[in-house]
Amino acid sequence: MSGIVKTFPGVRALDGVSFDVRAGEVHALVGENGAGKSTLMKILAGAYIADAGTIEIDGKVAAIDGPRAAETLGVGMIYQEFNLVPDLSVVDNLLLGHEPLTRGFLDRRAAVAQAGSVLSELGIALPLTLPARKLTVAQQQLTEISKALLRKARLIVMDEPTAALTDREIDALFVLIAKLKAQNVAFVYISHRLEELPRISDRITVLRDGKTVETRPTADLPQDEMIRLMVGRALNAHFPELPPVAEDAPVVLLVNRLASTAGVPVTDVSFSVRAGEIVGLAGLVGAGRTDIVRAIAGADVPVAGSIDVAGRRVVVHGPHSAIEAGIALITEDRKAQGLVLGMNVRENTTLAHLDAFAKNGFVDRAKENETTAREIAELRIRTPSGEQIVRNLSGGTQQKVVLAKWLIGDAQVYLFDEPTRGIDVGAKAEIYALMVGLLARGAGIVMVSSELPEVLGMSHRILVVREGRIRAEFARADATPDKVIAVATGVAA
């Protein structure tokens, strides 16, 4: 792959990336969240089409215009979220789209024979007739690998293959990879677990901000240098000055031994936030940061632990009780969770506090208009009017509508989950300024962000989350990108 460019609305995800894999090699691809690893591999697998650049396979230029083309060319992609049909049997999944037919009818016996021969060749044992949903994670992964091999894949891309495996399963996976390497199958290996790379990879490529930073044999790239290359840049200077937290500032949020099981299990999370303070939650995608703030806000009901807002115990049994207590969650996915896209700015702005706008159940339109107009002016929401349908607004503007929705409630605790994802630099600066404004009002803020500079630049304190637990705490002055990444990736405790 050379000179690959891919742009999404507002973001240049890949900016001239070049990357090569040799036969029989395991080539690791590392980088921070958003560095472009997944995008690059999706282009290779035909899930995205590159805007520019070429892909060559065996020295010939290959036009990969869809998943089918990639498959024909011998590229097999194993996503972190597996693509198995849960209610079909293992053998049916293995041969999906390539079912052997006899006189136009499915030939079960031939299917079992075909699948069985490939599996026995690799020494993989899978319950062929069991529905895929009954398999363990490791078995599902083996099914995916076998599926790729059945389609004669010579290059297999694995995205975070060990994320959900036990140590023994990882050992077994590595043995299998070694065996396939000997048969000249090549691997692209994407992983956040840097410590396992020396065991498995031959070469490592570091991506940063959509560019290739370095490609080196694994032996020549020690871990600390790898981290430095991943982080790489100086902190951007355009974060506003954070006012210091007053010595006697009261604690507005006290979380004690919180646990939740709805998504990534959250265990034993305790921390506090004072008035005027921003606490940053750092960590990798899938570490459980979002799950922590969701549990505090009642989006997932916590199974254990306690939450106090301004010294008062809050029993959180749903979003409503958290909102009543003065907790506002600005969710990471504004389209799926933050906004009703088909409604207008006014209706979205007042949605969470409609009680305040209603008399005897009737909505006071004049009051709504007044508040909406005020928020549009204060937040500089770029919309022709409050009646504009939110779907038609830009990402940054939509995010401001989400903020307006929660700002009108005067909450004491604001939980920001990826507040600036996918929005342009200008809107980012405005949102930072707004957060500082909230601090002045005496609110406390918890901010989840996958952008390390943002966490480091916009927090008074930083908590590093890994596997649903808080693993380390840094004061702003002590936090460096290397230290945070080391804890987040499990290199340091």
Partner 1 sequence: MADEQKVTAELEAGAEAAHARANRTRLLRTGGAIVALAIVVVIVNIFSHGAFLTPGNLTNVLRQITYNAILAIGQTFVIITAGIDLSVGSLIELTGVVMASFANAMPFDGFPLVVSTLIVGLAVGCAAGFVNAVPVVKLNLPPFITTLAMMLMARGLAFKLAHGRPVALNSDAFNTMGTGFFLQGPLSAVGSPGIPIPVLWMAVLVAIFAVLLTRTRFGRYVFAIGGNEEAARLAGIAVGRVKTLVYVISGGCAAIAGMLLMARFHSGSPNTGIGSELQSIAAVVVGGTSLAGGRGSVVSTFFGALLIGMLNNVMNLLGIESYTQDIVLGAVILLAVITDELRKRYLQS
- Answer yes or no whether residue 387 interacts with partner 1 by CB under 8 A: yes
Contact stretch for partner 1 (CB under 8 A) within 12-20, 148-156, 217-225, 342-350: 342-350
> Which C-beta is closer to partner 1: that of 297 or that of 487?
297
Beta bridge partners of 77: 157
Q: Which stretch binds partner 1 (CB under 8 A): 102-110, 112-120, 271-279, 386-394?
A: 386-394
Closest CA to 386 of 424, 429, 426, 350: 350
- Asked if residue 326 binds partner 1 (CB under 8 A), the reply is no
**Burial (CB count <10 Å: 0-12, 13-18, 19+), residue 337:** middle
Site string for partner 1, 289-318 (x = CB under 8 A): --------x-x------------------x
The one among 59, 362, 366, 477 contacting partner 1 by CB under 8 A:
362
Residue 366 interacts with partner 1 (CB under 8 A): yes or no: no
Identity of the residue, 267 or 321, whose beta carbon is nearer to partner 1 in the bound complex: 321
Q: 10, 243, 342, 437: which one contacts partner 1 (CB under 8 A)? A: 342
**If we measure between CA atoms, which residue out of 262, 209, 284 comes closest to residue 449?**
284
Task: Please enumerate in sequence order all residues whose Cβ is within 8 A of that of 236, keeping only pairs 6 or more positions apart, or say none.
Answer: 453, 457
CA distance 449 to 481: 13
105 lies in the site for partner 1, by CB under 8 A: no
- The span of 230-238, 249-257, 337-345, 479-487 binding partner 1 (CB under 8 A) equals 337-345
Please tell me whether residue 347 binds partner 1 under the rule CB under 8 A: yes
Nearest-approach distance from CB 354 to partner 1, in angstroms: 5
Least Cα distance to 180 among 132, 206, 142 occurs for 142
- Find the binder of partner 1 among 23, 175, 340, 475 (CB under 8 A): 340
Q: Is 239 exposed, middle or buried (0-12, 13-18, 19+ CB in 10 A)?
A: middle
When asked if residue 324 is in the footprint of partner 1 (CB under 8 A), the reply is: yes
Q: Which residue has the tokens 């906004």?
A: 339
- Sole binder of partner 1 in the list 388, 398, 449, 489 (CB under 8 A): 388
Does 329 help bind partner 1 (rule: CB under 8 A)?
Answer: yes
Q: Are 338 and 297 in contact (CB under 8 A)?
A: no
Q: Which is nearer to partner 1, 138 or 352 (CB)?
A: 352
User: Please, is 350 exposed, middle or buried when counting C-beta atoms within 10 Å of its C-beta (0-12, 13-18, 19+)?
Assistant: buried
Of positions 351, 425, 433, 475, contacts partner 1 by CB under 8 A:
351
Task: Identify whether the C-beta of residue 291 lies closer than 8 Å to the C-beta of residue 266.
Answer: yes
Measured CA to CA, the distance from residue 16 to residue 61 in angstroms comes to: 17
- Please report, as ranges, the residues that interact with partner 1 according to CB under 8 A: 297, 299, 318-320, 322-324, 329, 331, 336-343, 347, 351-352, 354-355, 357-358, 361-363, 382-385, 387-389, 392, 405
